[in-house]
Amino acid sequence: SRFETCWPALMKDSHGVIIIFNPELPSHLKEIEMWYSCFVQQQPLLDSQCLLVAHHKPGSVGDTENLSLAYPLNKLKLIHSNLEDDPEDARMEFMKYFRSIITFINESREREEMSIIS
Read off the pTM.
Answer: 0.83
- How many C-beta atoms lie closer than 10 Å to residue 16's C-beta? 19
Q: Which of 72, 58, 47, 70 is nearest to 24 (CA)?
A: 58
**Least-confidence region, from 1-15, 21-35, 66-80, 82-96:** 1-15
Number of structural domains (the chain) is 1
> What is the domain extent for residue 26?
12-117
pLDDT tens string 71-103:
999 999 999 988 777 788 889 999 999 999 999
**Residue 18: inside a domain:** yes
Q: How far apart are CA 97 and CA 53, in angstroms?
A: 11
**Residue 78: φ, ψ to 5°:** -120, 125
HSE-CB for 69 with a 13 A CA cutoff: 23
**Residue 45: inside a domain:** yes
**Residue 66: inside a domain:** yes
